[in-house]
Structure 1
Amino acid sequence: MTEQHTPVMEPSAAPAAPQPPQKAPEKKKKKKKVAKNVVVAIIVVALIAAAAWAIWYFVFREKPKEGLGEPIYDTAMMGSIVSNVSGYGTANAKDSATITLSQGGVVDQVFVTQGQPVVKGDPLYVITSAAAEEALAAAKEALVNQQETMDKLNEEMTNLQKSRGDLTISAPHAGKLTEVAEIKVGDPMTSGTKIAQIVDDTKLKLSLYYSYAYENDISVGQSAQISIPATMTTRNATVEKINKVEHITKEGGVTFEVVFVMDNPGTLTAGMSASAELTDASGAPIYPYENGELAYYQTTTIATKAQGPVEQVIDLLNYANVTAGQVLLVQGTNDVDELIRSKQEQIDTAKKSYDDAVKKVEDEQKNLENFSAVAPITGTVVTLSLTEGQEVASGATAIVIADNSVMTVNISVDDRNRQYIETGMELMLNDWNGNSYMGIVDSIAVIGENQNGVTVYPGTVRVENPNGTLMGGYPLDYQFTAAQSQDCIVIPIQDVRYYSPEGAEEPQAVVFIQTAEAPENAIDKTLLPADMQAEIPKDCYVIPVETGLSDETMVEIKSGLNDGDKVYNNTPKENYYGRKASTSTKAG
């Protein structure tokens, strides 16, 4: 509020005319108020702008990658790529022989030296060993005794089986059972009791009678036609037999018998009425006196051969098909069976003892031969522990001979590379001394083995070693070309990244391609994991690719890229001195 002051009148002065009270100018006061409001508004706007900028800067602004250099790009180009497989193994002589002494003795003579080549059959040494000779003599005596025991047991078993055999009824030949008697376990049986018939129904016979007027018109082997009225069919047949009998007919005629045989299609049986038609030399038909009946080609009666209760009935059924020797019925007692079982156990035990005795003689004979040994193979003496006059102990290794002309190398190939190796292919091998050898794959397993969680396939490689430079126990590295691709798109292997799409069984390979416009095969980068998204430069698009062969540095791109495409490699970091320190992304 503005203060107003009243003037003080001097005493001697005349009174002045009265004046109205003075007011401050209205216009000036309004200007001051507006200015003040403008200043306040400017300050508020500035504060709001500063807050908005701070929010954008600290929250929404894309932060620059501090300390990073310029992205590095590679160019996809046409080239070739080779995939090699390497591994290691140990050389061994393909053939070797070790002679070990079974008894002690004294060395009389030594005919070879270590490192000397020998031929199979060459004498090696002579050792006197009374103990070895005595061991062979004792083994032979034990074998003779065991042979006598075996012979006695086998004779006893033969007698038991003979008596037991008469109590077992078997089919004398293959066929079908008919007229089967009703028999059950426990029934008493006497010798000669009929239990069934067995018929061979694969063929059928027909016996007919013809007038002697046709005696010279019918011969064995002659073809005929058999008519079966019941089935209204005709079958081919052959005259099997002619019996010059005198069969008198009701009319007083004399006839002879002709037996026909034919195959049974499976629908004919004995007892069916049938007739046969023959022709003479002029083609005129020859008819039998009357129809006959079909009969089975062979019929045998099966009967018991001894007395005894029924112990087993096996498939004894009418019309059951049986094979020759098939057991049908068993008679006997438990005592006989028990004797046979007991005797068989004795024979089995004796047989094992006999086999052991045979092997003992063979071993002792071989042991004795080792005391006057000859080279079992052609090769080189690699170990010799004998000197003349030396006393040697049982179990000592006398000599080792190895044939180093051919060596084998055992290798193991993992499941990723098994498809590239096969029998007969060549492998290059190198030893630690820088020598190279050419090997041939002799074998490679078709079923893998698990070794420390990895499936491997063992194999052997044959190496010709005529000069003997490759020795047993030498470690060898091997290498072979698994596959190669010519005129293909290749890029550095670290340019390829992998991610797992949702629902996919296999990871998807992608590259980041630098281009002004999005290619048709580009995919949304948001499908990638967050760390991969952060790695993509602004001018790149994500392209799915199909990879092929790869080596230590490059990878084949089967689809997705063209020759000359620019592919992102990495963005190197800058070090404290301003130089770029390279970082890389490893594929996989």
Structure 2
Amino acid sequence: MSEKGLERETEGISVGEREPVVADSSPKGGRLRSSWKKLWKGRKRKALALLLVVAIAGGVVIWRGRGQTASAATTYQEAAVERRSITNSLSSSGTLEPADSYTVNTLVSGEILSDTFEKGDQVEEGQLLYTIDSSNAASSQTQAQNSYSQAQTSYEQAVKAKYPQADLSGTVSEVYVNEGDSVSAGTQLLKIVADENIYIDFYFTYADSGDFYIGQTATVFIDGFAGTLTGTVAAVSSSSAAVSTGVPLTTVRVRLANPGLVTSDYTASAVIGSYSSYGQASIKVGASSVITAEASGKVAGFNWLVGDTISSGDRICTITGDSVDNQIESARISVSNASTSLENARDNLEDYSVTAPISGTVVTKNAKAGDNIEGGSGSTLCVIYDLSYLEMTMSIDELDISSVEVGQEVRITADAVEGKTYTGVVTEVSVAGTTSGGITTYPVTVRIDETDGLLPGMNVDAEIVISSADDVLAIPSAAVSRGDMVLVTANSPSAVNALDQEAPEGYVYVPVETGVSDNSYIEVLSGLQEGDTVAYLQAAGSASSGDMTFVMPSGAMSSIPMGDMPSGMPSGGGMPSGGPGGF
């Protein structure tokens, strides 16, 4: 199409003589693409997409490639290099939440006997809040305790039946079984004698305690035994008594070895020195015990012989067999079940004393002393907020979430508190995003420690400062081409550093190094100085310069960098067939 024909098509749009500034779509043009992406994200996507559709449908699309001459009027916007502060930030709104909150419920039912707080009080974790009538629960615990004790006793008896033990210390005096014998409950295993001596308390008349002494020899006559036994005085009473005739007497205890057949059924008399004892005295035999089997089975591990010394608690043997093993297992299961029941009963009893699960402020009190409550998840007694700090959640777009990290400072403002800015900090960046309408956002948790004037439930605006620079050289973001070049007027001081590259008349390209940027301006680290004037393509009513210019029905032009076109739009090639303009 000829230039004149194009003029007729555009009806009155004049053709400029200067070549348009072309925004690069290469990786070096990343900062311009970033600016476009910031526009093409979040809630703005659909609106921009609609605007593009309207623009394309109602106007003429003019394709401009490298080396082509513009077919529509182009206007260069000029701006002086100046010093300013630049802040790159992300904003979101949210609702304040307490640091922690807890709804206090109970699973038990009954009358509330007491409460220890009022609404608005500060309570500490573990503090008693309510006491509920627990009389029934206490009775249940007592029953569970008794059942557990009985089960434990039965288990200990079952173990003892399998492993018989000596019940006193002494000497094995008799053995009744051998290794491998089969026994039944009640079968005697062995006899233990704690003391092989016998003791006899003799009475002497017409004698003083001084007439006897410990260690003195005593001749003992046991009724029914021929001959005599020799014993030793073990003790002498220090006081005298009197027989029925009124004659005083002295008690002398004699110890002697048991010949083996003497029992407590026998009586004896004695002669000590020149004194004979009065009447017949009873005999005291040392303690003894016969160990019997308490379960049926075979005897194993039996190694005891007569005369062996044995201590209380020593194992006599092991009774083997299914019967005794089954008895032990049954008793063990009973103990386990009883223990569980007891633990449940104790836990249930504890539920009747309701304590604070967290430290904080009571914001709601629904129950008080004297109320009858029904236990369950819906039985809210009170609500506690931990107000030591507040939190909010920001929703950050997927294009920006990589710029957010824990520890970043957040500026908080609330409509309810005018003229005050609070400082928060990012405490968590979640990787669990939420997608809606093709847009994914990620929750970012912000903590606010200074909360004077703020309350849970308030709506606030938050801004995360990604990067910032104060009093730095800056130019409009649209002026940067290919990520590291800027078009400046030929009379600018920095024009002396011009690149050997074709530029529009009256301008030259200079290389630059850029820094912090926002949606409008970008920091210049090197390549420009104060006094320079930059230029960039911006037709009347258009967007920032780029590789595609939309001619609006009104005659205005809008340019978009081709490398930054949103998904679904043409990039790096021609318009779809049948597109506006017929290119």
- TM-score, normalised relative to structure 1: 0.42
Q: Specify the structure having the higher radius of gyration (Cα).
A: 1
State TM-score, norm by structure 2. 0.42
